Amino acid sequence: MTFDNARGLPTPGRPSPTSPDVSATPSVVQSLGRHADGAVPFSVEFSPPRDEAGEQRLWRAVRAFERMHPAFVSMTYGAGGSTRDRTVRVTGELALQTTLLPVGHLTAVGHSVAELRSIVGAYADSGISNILVLRGDPAGDPLGEWHKHPGGVEYAEELVRIVRDLGDFHVGVASFPQGHHRSIDLDHDTRYLAAKLRAGAEYSITQMFFDVDDYLRLRDRIAALDPVEGAKPIIPELMPITSLRTVERAEQLCGRPLPDRVIERLRVAAGSGPEEDRAAVRAAGIEIATGMGERLIAEGAPCLHFITLNFAKATSEVLTNLGYGVTASPLRAGTVTAGSQSAGA
């Protein structure tokens, strides 16, 4: 392994005779299939830390989830490629220092093709063969106008092909239950997803959502458009709401406002006093995420992917409610616990 600084970042694209063999690493799809017959696995998303305190918080969460045996974990890539070095470094550490299966994010925004190939090389140096390919959001304003790098690519479909052409990499892409905010309509959005899958993506992870029916409609649309590509796993992404402040963050990640019924439920929990009843809001958020998870499992979702914001507790509580744990088996398709929120809210 070749490193270019004291923090352990693999030198992008520099070959090393001791680099792990990426072809020996299982793919995300293979990992999903290795779980107990009928059991629905889970996975989690981390973000690269900004400072030493954030580093410690991240690793506490990593070790907590490691004991629960997720199918895979992913590491985000900041808007405009702003966290590239940290993303590559920490994803490499996850591969080398844990038993987890890491998925590195890779975004097209702000990068030339040469830079993108170099980043893929850095992932390979750490033995990472699973990469989630995204077009990415502009730095500073995720909803702002998207500009292609002069030497880069315009669409995620192109980036999928670049990564696949570089070696034995397993590629995932994003999908959008409510449609991407830049898509003309849902039909066009579904065609874009099909193009990414046809380019070689093996699965997709959805943008976070709060209406399970949106996920089911996405699944139906892609299956109707292309039954072959539509059979590939569509992994739903969830995030437990723990305070009213996190509602704004959730809406940023969704790219859409939360459903009125979800907002109303959280506001009722917050109470009418001068200060938010944070414990009640948190409890409501856990219940919402649990109900969504139960319905998604019953509807045959291949996995549940959780945004953690590098905290383990809230997601762990949802997983415990769903029957996951260090030794417990997760729920199986068609199983719903007593008192579940079947509407996903």
Active site residue ranges: 45
* Angstrom distance (rounded) from CA 100 to CA 169: 17
* Angstrom distance (rounded) from CA 126 to CA 95: 7
Contact residues for 270 (Cβ-Cβ < 8 A; gap 6+): 244, 276, 277, 280, 281
Contact residues for 341 (Cβ-Cβ < 8 A; gap 6+): 287, 288, 290, 291, 292, 294, 295
Cα–Cα–Cα angle for 223, 305, 122, rounded to 5 degrees: 100
